[in-house]
Amino acid sequence: MNTAERSKLPPIDGARLWRRLEELSTFTRADIAWTRRAFSPEYTAARAWLREAFEAAGLQVHLDAAGNLIGRRPGRRNELKPLATGSHTDTVNAGGRFDGILGVLAGLEVAHALNDANITLEHPFEVIDFLCEEPSDYGISCVGSRAMAGMLSPDMLAASDGQGDTLGQALQRLGARPEALAEADRRQDGFAAFVELHIEQGPMLEREGLAIGAVTDIVGIRRAQLFFEGRPDHAGTTPMDERSDALVAAACVIRQAQRLARQWSRSTPHYVVATVGRMAVSPNASNTVPGQVELTLEVRSNHAPVLKEFWEVLERRCSPAIERLGVQWRVEPRTHVDPVPCAPLVTAAVERAAQRLGLGCRRMPSGAGHDAMYIAHTGPSGMIFIPCLEGRSHSAVEWASPEQVLAGTQVLAATLLELDRQPG
């Protein structure tokens, strides 16, 4: 087969792809729609279905030591590093029908289309269902992609679900081999390129009437727990000027975090968001001044200095007011993941693929974490976004149309074919 034939876009069967999305979505808890947690019975059954679908598309299928389900298609030059695509099939509770599974099934459809058209790429081609991208009961996310990047540590394997079960034991039940985890590490051999298709999980593409997002970088995330120590007193008899109200101090931080994130996102070219997602108040009573507050603050940005400077500025802005309230406070860091740039090679290929197909496209960051950020340690990595209805995700109302799904999969196929023509 000559170069012109190999560069021809294989016909993507949109009906087949949509049918598979519908079928995989049926593997869900009966009591909570669109819920397929990693390691659950629904997840195990979905994995069995997916293995059969991989095999039906002519892929050679295996489960690696970290529990990633991989379908491989040989290339004309099998000594080359493989091209790869994929995502995950686990969900958060009531997580929706497209987050994760779109990227896996779009990759499967590309493989099936190549098979139907009798097109053999220069590179081997892999479609990967990464294990447990969403936060698990063991407190660890991106389990499979971390392992491929050599970042799944013994401490993580020993993490417990609170009932005595460990992540390592869960991997064994799934058929993985945590004792041989080094076999799943792909850093040495690596990928020629990795491309992940995903719904945007935000409103920008829909708002701008665009079909495709060429992702430039994936945000870093810094989380910390904040503790406020005041003094519990009677709410009716303690004068306002004599209170040490821990909740008022916490409110100061919450308000300033929101103001700072809005200010920086408007005045700088960087993506910045801040969220308080958890809070505990004690005593939690209507007739008692709150004496203790604990909350979790998360900051995300695609610019590493922001993740450091945000906390420093927040402390400077809040400390004087909190001191006047007579409240003590401290910040305890919990997790810190740096931003990951997407490979310019991949981002540019996505843009050209969209242009070739006559689809509107813009460059944009990802505000969510993805498996692609860990796979970036194994070779050039990038992402394609398609719109989702009203930007909603991690929700039962999550939706993308068949036309949007098809367009994204066509861009994925065109991107992979262009990357296949790159040297080496």
**CA pair distance 271, 359, nearest whole angstrom:** 25
The answer to whether residues 333 and 344 belong to one domain is: no
The answer to whether residues 116 and 204 belong to one domain is: yes
The answer to whether residues 190 and 234 belong to one domain is: no
pLDDT at 277: 86
Enclosing domain of residue 322: 220-337
CATH classification of the domain holding 240: 3.30.70.360
pLDDT at 60: 98
pLDDT at 1: 40
Above 50 in pLDDT, residue 407? Answer: yes
CB-based contact 195:215 (threshold 8 Å): no
What's the pLDDT tens digit per position in 129-139?
999 999 899 98
**CA pair distance 14, 33, nearest whole angstrom:** 24
The answer to whether residues 201 and 233 belong to one domain is: no
**CA pair distance 390, 371, nearest whole angstrom:** 24
CB-based contact 63:171 (threshold 8 Å): no
Above 70 in pLDDT, residue 165? Answer: yes
CA distances from 273 to 75, 311, 401 (A): 43, 13, 28
pLDDT more than 70, % of the chain: 98
pLDDT at 424: 60
Above 50 in pLDDT, residue 6? Answer: no
CB-based contact 89:36 (threshold 8 Å): yes
Q: Domain boundary at 309, 337, 365, which? A: 337
The answer to whether residues 210 and 90 belong to one domain is: yes
What's the pLDDT tens digit per position in 38-94?
999 999 999 999 999 999 999 999 999 999 999 999 999 999 999 999 999 999 999
CATH classification of the domain holding 84: 3.40.630.10
Q: Domain boundary at 337, 359, 387, which? A: 337
Q: Domain boundary at 337, 361, 385, which? A: 337
pLDDT at 49: 98
Q: How confident is the model at residue 5 (pLDDT cuts 50, 70, 90)?
A: very low
**CA pair distance 234, 229, nearest whole angstrom:** 16
**CA pair distance 276, 255, nearest whole angstrom:** 10
Q: How confident is the model at residue 385 (pLDDT cuts 50, 70, 90)?
A: very high
The answer to whether residues 228 and 246 belong to one domain is: yes
The answer to whether residues 226 and 316 belong to one domain is: yes
The answer to whether residues 314 and 363 belong to one domain is: no
The answer to whether residues 68 and 187 belong to one domain is: yes
The answer to whether residues 143 and 232 belong to one domain is: no
The answer to whether residues 214 and 229 belong to one domain is: no
User: How many structural domains does the chain have?
Assistant: 2
Mean pLDDT value of segment 301-324: 97
pLDDT at 263: 97
The answer to whether residues 33 and 161 belong to one domain is: yes
Above 60 in pLDDT, residue 3? Answer: no
**CA pair distance 335, 132, nearest whole angstrom:** 18
Cβ partners under 8 Å of residue 249, min gap 6: 228, 230, 293, 321, 322, 325, 327, 329
> How high is the mean pLDDT of the chain?
96
